[in-house]
Amino acid sequence: MKKKTWKKIRKYTVIYVIAVIAAIWTLFPVYWMIKSSLTPDDEMYSPKPALFPARWTLSHYEELFRETTFMNYVLNSLYVASLVTVISVAISIIGSYSMTRLRYRGRVFMARSIIYTYLLPTAVLFIPMYVLVSRLGLSDNKNALLVIYPTIIVPYCCYMLVSYFKAIPKELEEAALIDGCTSLQSLFKIMIPIAAPGIAVVSTFAFTMAWNEYLYALVMTTSPSQQTVTVGISGFKYSDQAIWGLLMGSSVIASIPAVALYFFAQKFLKTGLAAGGVK
C-alpha cells in the first residue's frame, strides 16, 4: 500500500510540476506585456529591467487615447471582424449542411476542394486578391477585407461544421420532413439549434482569425482611417526602433475583444469541441 501511495504522490507531483512550468511559460509573455505597458520609459529602457517596476504609470495609455488614432484602428477591426464572422458562418452553415445532408453531383469533389483550400497558404493568394480588389474599386478600403477574409475563413468553418452536422442523427431531420418541413426549414429548426455549440466555436475562431490577420490588412489598406488594429500596432515600430510603451499598451487593448469573446463563449467552446470530436 505504501509503495502504491508513493507512486501516486510521485506521479501527481511530476504532473503538477509540469503543469506549473507550462503555465508560467505561457503566461509570462502576457504578464511582461501588461507590465511593460504600465512601466515608465526611464525604467523600461534600463539595461537590466526589473521583474516588477518600481513605479506604475498610465501615461502610455493616455498617449494612445489622446495623441494617436489607435482607437480608430480598433473600431475598424471590430467592424471588419464582426461582419466577416457573420458572413463566413452563414455561408459555412449552408455549405456544411449541403455537403452532409443533400445528395447531388460533385458533392464529394466540393468537400475535398474545401479541405485543399484550407491547407493552401494564404500568402500565396495576396497578389491575385489585390488585383481582384482593385478591379472592384475597393483599393485602400477596409470593405475589401470583407471580400478577402471569408475566402480564408469559410473553408476552416466548413471543415469544422461538417463534423457537427454529421454527429446529428438523420432520424431527427427525417421526422421533421415527414411532418411537412422543407430541407431549409429542417436546417433552421432542427440542425442549427442542435449544432449551436459548434456554431459558437467556429464563430469564435472566425472572429479571432479576422481580428489577428495582418498581411492582407497591410497590403489592401494604406490610409490610417482604413487600417485595422494589427497594422496600427506595427506602426509603433520604426525601422529597428520600437516605442515599447505604446507597442505594449496597444497590444493589451487589442487583446481585450478576443479574450472577452473567449470568456463569453467558454461554455459553448467546451461543449462544442467535445461534440465535434464525437464521430
Cα–Cα distance between 47 and 35 in angstroms, integer? 16
Residue 238 is inside which H or E element, if any?
strand 237-238
pLDDT band at 164 (very low <50, low <70, confident <90, very high): confident
- Give the contacts of 231 (CB within 8 A, at least 6 positions apart): 73, 214, 217, 218, 221
- Give the contacts of 16 (CB within 8 A, at least 6 positions apart): none
Q: What is the pLDDT of residue 270?
A: 55
Tens digits of residue pLDDT in 90-99: 998 988 888 8
Who wins on pLDDT, 238 or 206?
Answer: 206
Beta bridge partners of 238: 241
Q: What is the sign, positive or negative, of the torsion defined by CA atoms of 104, 109, 110, 111?
A: positive
If you average pLDDT over residues 4-23, what whole number do you get?
A: 83
Tens digits of residue pLDDT in 67-125: 888 999 999 999 999 999 999 999 989 888 888 877 777 777 777 777 777 777 777 88
What pTM, to 2 d.p., does this model score?
A: 0.83
All three cell numbers of 237, joined, read 515600430
CA distances from 180 to 2, 44, 97, 100, 183 (A): 67, 68, 19, 21, 10
User: How many contiguous H segments (helices) and E segments (strands) does the chain have?
Assistant: 15, 2
Q: What is the pLDDT of residue 2?
A: 58
Beta bridge partners of 242: 237
Q: Which residue has cell 510521485?
A: 10
> Hey, which of 46-55, 115-124, 134-143 has the most confident mean pLDDT?
134-143
Q: Which residue has cell 507590465?
A: 35
Three-state helix/strand/coil letters over 93-159: HHHHHHHHHCCCCCHHHHHHHHHHHHHCCHHHHHHHHHHHHHHCCCCCCCCHHHHHHHHHHHHHHHH
pLDDT band at 272 (very low <50, low <70, confident <90, very high): very low
Q: Closest by alpha carbon to 122, among 93, 138, 92, 145?
A: 145
Q: What is the pLDDT of residue 273?
A: 45
Superfamily of chain region 66-276: MetI-like (1.10.3720.10)
Cα–Cα distance between 217 and 226 in angstroms, integer? 9
Cα–Cα distance between 93 and 88 in angstroms, integer? 9
- Give the contacts of 232 (CB within 8 A, at least 6 positions apart): 69, 70, 72, 73, 74, 224, 250
Cα–Cα distance between 185 and 179 in angstroms, integer? 11
Residue 185 is inside which H or E element, if any?
helix 183-186
Q: Where are the domains of the chain?
A: 2-57, 66-276
